[in-house]
Chain A
Amino acid sequence: MSIEVSGVNKRYGDFVALEDINLTIPTGQLTALLGPSGGGKTTLLRVIAGLETPDTGTISIEGVEATALPVQKRNVGFVFQHYAAFKHLTVAKNVAFGLEIRKKPRAEIAAKVEELLELVHLSQFADRLPSQLSGGQRQRMALARALAIEPSVLLLDEPFGALDAKVRKELRDWLRRLHDEVHVTTVFVTHDQEEALEVADEIVVVNQGGIEQIGTPEQLYDEPANDFVMSFLGDVTTLGGSLIRPHDVEVTTSPLSEHSLEGTVSRVLRIGFEVRLTVLTDDGEVVTAELTRTHARALQLEEGANVFVTPSPGAYMMPAPSLAG
């Protein structure tokens, strides 16, 4: 087991950043720490790296007790949201930094830097300064720099958070492919559920200083442990007093089963290929449903139309928390 976190607590004054965290991250996997801002996921990552000291609890990395080790001795690669580039050094020098600290022979450093720049597709930018690179390129440089020291674990703190949507998506795919090539145990922090679902082998949902659920993307999406996980991983709506995903709500013009509820369409919102319907049931419940554009057209849905809403067969549902709670 690559990273073992046990009994970790961390407070800042009155604010509880982490509360009794126990977590095991297996070797060679790509794990996402997913959660809302201020939920403690970045603090957890920094505690693993040794950039923060936990108040109580222990961290071990690759079987080595690391709690008392400073960040310099933990052999972790850390990538920051805002790149943390060494602005006065060229791209090649940035990547070489950790190797120079380790006093490796010059030829070995040069070879390693070349290999890494090749890996992150920055070979032709070796002699540029970071200020001459785009955000995505800077982050790839930061990744090469972190990989240069052959870290036992690679930790990424919202690595694509500062990039625009398109570059973000590209880098996300690229990170997945890179991980399949390099196989270093990787933990990345994100607040973007789509990013976590797409890239990670395993997702740890962190909220209010605690862990809500650990599982594969499928497990988390299909069998969320609680309403927080369910609503954080995707859109949810209520149907007959249960939480359900809007795309699991079937909309028909005649009742499908005894579970069907009758209602009227109060709003039709078209977003690209999908149509989002708001249906007000006769019991006074507001149900959101997602349909494809063609399906919606076939049913001739428009505002005021009379429809029936039914949970799809096999849809995951859980009792909705009472509004008072």
Chain B
Amino acid sequence: MLWFSLLVLIPLVAVIITASSGGWSAFANQLQNEQTAAAIWLTIRAALVVTLINVVIGTVIAWVLVRDKFWGKGLLEVIIDIPFALPTIVAGLVLLSLYGAESPLGLHWANTSRSVYLALAFVTLPFVVRMVQPVLEELDADVEEAAASLGASRFTTFRRIILPSLTPAIAAGAALSFARGMGEYGSLVLLSGNLPFESEVASVRILSAIENDNPEGAAAIAAMLLMVSLLVIVVLDLLQRRMVRRG
């Protein structure tokens, strides 16, 4: 327990210390840099939007995988895991060849902020699916039948019985998806072109801060990302507890 605390906490504390080494005003200054602020804002926005999409689509995919039988289901199971298994830079390359300048799909999304959303959606897809799926498999059919015998429609049964059982898993999947989105680098760095004020994300900004010999700046951005991630995880947890209690 102590070992894990040390393993996780020491690096986090180190980041906070470096970020605060210049005092509060230096920290605020770093973040007030317009280019930095734009990068952080884009990152948060993209991670939030993609997480929301994952919550809905991921739950639907998990539902289909558990409840429906169709040809090619096994294949779909494997495809869902590809973003997990693929090295992110490979994912970036795949995305570049699909949506880049010579896009076979005719979608030229390279060097736009859309590329950030796309890359995040790609790498975070499995999180919610893989968290919800086992919980859904564990649900007893007779619980749904009991609700139906008490007069609940299919929709009411889903909303009042199934969904509350799934919320902890959905919330956990969302937290993972959001955290991953906040720190994603490899999959978007090729396609996004890292244009300041357009498609540059926080992790790229951290790298350039380090390259420009500004470790305090890098630490400040990192601390900011850390705080936002923590905030979102706490909010998700509260939301999930509330949903469960309300029933």
A98 and B149 CA atoms in complex are apart in Å by 9
Neighbouring B residues of A72 by C-beta, 8 Å: 148-149, 151-153
Interface segment among B35-43, B49-57, B107-115, B138-146: the answer is B138-146
The answer to whether B149 and A71 touch across the interface, beta carbons within 8 angstroms, is: yes
The answer to whether B151 and A80 touch across the interface, beta carbons within 8 angstroms, is: no
The answer to whether A84 and B150 touch across the interface, beta carbons within 8 angstroms, is: no
The answer to whether B164 and A88 touch across the interface, beta carbons within 8 angstroms, is: yes
The answer to whether B148 and A71 touch across the interface, beta carbons within 8 angstroms, is: yes
B66 touches A (CB below 8 Å): no
Neighbouring B residues of A299 by C-beta, 8 Å: none
A-B pair number, CB within 8 angstroms: 64
- Please, which residue of chain A has its CB at the minimum distance from the CB of B145? A51
B172 touches A (CB below 8 Å): no
B16 touches A (CB below 8 Å): no
26 A–B pairs (Cβ distance < 8 Å), ordered by A = A49-B149, A51-B148, A51-B149, A72-B153, A73-B151, A74-B149, A76-B149, A78-B145, A78-B146, A80-B145, A82-B140, A82-B142, A84-B140, A84-B146, A86-B143, A86-B146, A86-B161, A86-B247, A87-B165, A88-B164, A88-B244, A97-B160, A101-B156, A102-B151, A149-B150, A149-B151
Q: Max chain A CB contacts within 10 Å: which of B142, B143, B150?
A: B150
B147 touches A (CB below 8 Å): yes
A76 and B148 CA atoms in complex are apart in Å by 10
Closest CB of chain A to B11's CB: distance in Å?
37
A145 touches B (CB below 8 Å): yes
A89 and B150 CA atoms in complex are apart in Å by 15
The answer to whether B151 and A101 touch across the interface, beta carbons within 8 angstroms, is: yes
The answer to whether A78 and B149 touch across the interface, beta carbons within 8 angstroms, is: yes
A244 touches B (CB below 8 Å): no
8 A Cβ contacts from B109-150 to A: 140, 142-143, 145-150
Closest CB of chain B to A189's CB: distance in Å?
14
A80 and B143 CA atoms in complex are apart in Å by 9
A75 and B142 CA atoms in complex are apart in Å by 17
Binding site for A on B (CB under 8 A): 140, 142-143, 145-153, 156, 160-161, 164-165, 244, 247
- Please, which residue of chain B has its CB at the minimum distance from the CB of A93? B247
Q: Which 3 A-B pairs have the closest CB atoms?
A: A98-B150, A84-B146, A78-B149
Neighbouring B residues of A97 by C-beta, 8 Å: 147, 150, 152, 160
- Please, which residue of chain A has its CB at the minimum distance from the CB of B154? A72
Neighbouring B residues of A239 by C-beta, 8 Å: none
Closest CB of chain A to B145's CB: distance in Å?
6
Neighbouring A residues of B146 by C-beta, 8 Å: 78, 80, 84, 86, 142, 145
Q: Max chain A CB contacts within 10 Å: which of B146, B148, B156, B244?
A: B146
A89 and B146 CA atoms in complex are apart in Å by 14
- Please, which residue of chain B has its CB at the minimum distance from the CB of A78? B149
Closest CB of chain B to A251's CB: distance in Å?
49
Neighbouring B residues of A263 by C-beta, 8 Å: none
Neighbouring B residues of A199 by C-beta, 8 Å: none
The answer to whether A77 and B149 touch across the interface, beta carbons within 8 angstroms, is: yes
Closest CB of chain A to B247's CB: distance in Å?
5
Neighbouring A residues of B143 by C-beta, 8 Å: 84-87
- Please, which residue of chain B has its CB at the minimum distance from the CB of A73? B151
A206 touches B (CB below 8 Å): no
How does the 8 Å CB contact mask read for A85-111 relative to B, with 1 for contact and 0 for none?
111110001000110011000000000
Neighbouring A residues of B244 by C-beta, 8 Å: 88
- Please, which residue of chain B has its CB at the minimum distance from the CB of A81? B142
Neighbouring A residues of B140 by C-beta, 8 Å: 82, 84
A187 touches B (CB below 8 Å): no
A230 touches B (CB below 8 Å): no
Neighbouring A residues of B161 by C-beta, 8 Å: 86
Neighbouring B residues of A74 by C-beta, 8 Å: 149
- Given known pairs A78-B145, A80-B142, A86-B143, the reply for A145 and B150 (CB within 8 Å) is yes
Neighbouring A residues of B153 by C-beta, 8 Å: 72
Neighbouring B residues of A86 by C-beta, 8 Å: 143, 146-147, 161, 247
Closest CB of chain B to A83's CB: distance in Å?
8
Closest CB of chain A to B168's CB: distance in Å?
10
Closest CB of chain A to B132's CB: distance in Å?
15
Closest CB of chain B to A14's CB: distance in Å?
20
Closest CB of chain A to B176's CB: distance in Å?
22
Q: Max chain B CB contacts within 10 Å: which of A49, A80, A88, A89?
A: A88
- Please, which residue of chain B has its CB at the minimum distance from the CB of A87? B165
Closest CB of chain B to A141's CB: distance in Å?
11
A146 touches B (CB below 8 Å): yes
Closest CB of chain A to B167's CB: distance in Å?
9
Closest CB of chain B to A12's CB: distance in Å?
16
A85 and B147 CA atoms in complex are apart in Å by 10
A280 and B148 CA atoms in complex are apart in Å by 57
A76 and B150 CA atoms in complex are apart in Å by 8
The answer to whether B149 and A88 touch across the interface, beta carbons within 8 angstroms, is: no
- Please, which residue of chain A has its CB at the minimum distance from the CB of B165? A88
- Please, which residue of chain A has its CB at the minimum distance from the CB of B141? A84
Closest CB of chain B to A159's CB: distance in Å?
12
- Given known pairs A89-B247, A93-B247, A101-B156, the reply for A84 and B151 (CB within 8 Å) is no
How does the 8 Å CB contact mask read for A142-161 relative to B, with 1 for contact and 0 for none?
10011011000000000000
